[in-house]
Structure 1
């Protein structure tokens, strides 16, 4: 299991000590640095990128919201704050998780595991998946797939470029794709979880398509939403 390289930023030393203590209790977490000054933390990260940043929101000069925006997608971000009113803004910044102080150890562990899963998905998602279609092998890039649609004995792969029709079943194709990156929401549809924008009772919304939710798949989708609800 690869180590999860982390950094923590908080203007309160006591809060940093809590994160340091928690990190020491998790075998796969390596807390590389802590900072009370967000400006120094940003300068450090430019030369020493990490996987995950635990970030306080209410800090003087540079707030956690400003910090996350400046950081971009370089590292995953978990907000640590005593205030819940920033949850919507954290969603807009696509942060990984939102931990309310005082932070419970089990929630801290959950955030670290979520970071591991996200990093694993990113790594696997860059590798092509090959499926056989007649006498040809077709390479699919998981990160380019928007959703999958079953059509009789075929699956229509809707991707960033033109759709591809592959002779296989939806279950067989999902078994080849990175676990956690796609979820089946209907007997005929599976979607890329990174593209889900809104979820209603009967439909979910992707950037350019509304997908029906089958009654048999509602519980599975609800469990996924609860697990990822802090940032979705």
Structure 2
């Protein structure tokens, strides 16, 4: 296998990043692709109480163990296997277990801040930014967090106003300028997604 191709996918919370990642993943042979999410690399907060962990600003760069994230990307680039952390959103902390990830020909690097961090940007071969209107993003976030993360509506709205929106304006939106491709309306833009899948399949074929 040649050096892996790293595809970065970024965008605001609820923009449709996961939909695009899943579509790409479903169109590429499983043996040839893997995903590492920046969200899995939130810092371990075992020294904090649950109440203290709830107050962490999870949309700020300081919330992430980016050193470990970069280290793992470099290991995958060098053909090494990594132990990716698992993050539990209900307890706001890492689980004790990890998941083993082997290097593949296509490696998707997904997260809110993967273009904001220069150390991550420099390791990516293709950068895709998912650009979706704020009203759609907040509705998607509400539905996801209530259904999948056991959150209340009040807590979601409070977090959005206090940290999510300011962080988006300060860190995420400005990082759009680093993208090679900008996809509007997330996974609903079927034409753009199909073009990306075709390009990735072409790269995979050339890399074999």
For the superposition of Structure 1 and Structure 2, which TM-score range results when normalised by the shorter chain? 0.3 to 0.5
- Larger relative CO (CA 8 A, sep 6+): 1 or 2? 2
The structure with the greater share of residues assigned to strand is 1
TM-score, length basis structure 2: 0.34
Q: Answer with 1 or 2: which has the greater Rg.
A: 1
For normalisation by structure 1, the TM-score amounts to: 0.31
